[in-house]
Structure 1
């Protein structure tokens, strides 16, 4: 990806799309198992107020799989470098960034090893069994949408990305993050418990606030998008 960064091809490589022509930029990033379309309920509204940038991380099949190098992307640094490079080529000097977290906690190492083994060897059966868990509510449309998205991933790449997600510990860098942050958290989320949101608020180096959505599940942009929009409007001062 470094060659694409220097050559300017990263915008096309990451399947980047820009909506709206307002002055302030809002970058929407997806998490594991999803792609940029996870924001489809929000984009048309947000594009009335922002220049909205969406893209796909290198591990998703919308991106040429030849660009995914397991060694390079064995930690989050390479993903961060891709994002910075992308924004540089889009001439984004300042803006807002909204990301779906990929955090999952509360597992022992043997449990994780069993999970990695299941993903690597039985991916097609694991996907439909796992998909309802992050959705968190009985929403057939959302479950199907996420299941279809997750199922498109390469099993080989999926297990490697999951290892990065589950085995990374970035607590030490939280105090170094000094930009203002807002953490939007569902009332009940099996993937990310509320304790994580308040831990981050306490440890972040800059001003931070936590907003609890009165809903369940990890993907409110699919299951409670009107509620999420209401909170976003207040956070980014849309009247």
Structure 2
């Protein structure tokens, strides 16, 4: 991925947007693509390296605050096993709530489902 960002930023933005946003929502894909395209590639590469090369698993055992992990059911970047791993490692009471959506950005493609999950978790009526 890093070499794709460096060698052909334009092509990477298009394929990355299609990977992370539900293919049934071309408007959101286009919106995310335009956001990525507008970013300066000089800043994207260090940011991508920081995100994809960081490993904070040892931090999870230090978390004692009750947590809710919100996970998309079909995420190609963060599989469900990651949510369950985090739930197991976090010391505080932790639950996993699923958003019935595809891909990585439910706030774009399934906003009502995400709002429903968040309102249930936070105890708000909508």
On whether the aligned pair clears a TM of 0.5, the verdict is: yes
Partner of 2:100: 214
The TM-score, its normalising length taken from structure 1, stands at 0.51
Higher fraction of helix: 2
2:53 alignment partner in structure 1: 167
Aligned pair 1:123/2:27, yes or no? no
Deviation (angstroms), 1:137 = 3.2
Q: Which runs of 4+ in 1 moved over 6 A?
A: none
| 1:182 equivalenced with 2:68 (yes/no) | yes
- Residue 22 of structure 2 contacts residue 109 of structure 2 at CA under 8 Å; is this kept in 1? no
Equivalent-residue separation in structure 1 for 2:36 and 2:64 (angstroms): 33
Q: How does 1:64-103 map to 2 (within 5 A)?
A: none
In structure 2, C-alpha distance between the alignment counterparts of 1:187 and 1:167, rounded to whole Å: 24
Task: Compute the TM-score of the two structures, normalised by the length of structure 2.
Answer: 0.94
Structure 1 unaligned spans of 5+:
1-114
Provide the rounded CA distance (Å) in 1 between the counterparts of 2:48 and 2:42.
10
Q: Which residue of 2 aligns with 1:134?
A: 20
Distance 1:154 1:173 in 2: 31
CA contact (8 A) 1:174 1:203 kept: yes
The alignment covers a number of residue pairs equal to 125
Do residues 198 (structure 1) and 84 (structure 2) align? yes
- Which blocks of at least 5 consecutive residues in structure 2 are unaligned? none
1:111 equivalent in structure 2: none
Report which structure shows greater RCO (CA 8 Å, sep ≥6): 2
Q: What do you get for the CA RMSD once the two structures are aligned?
A: 1.1
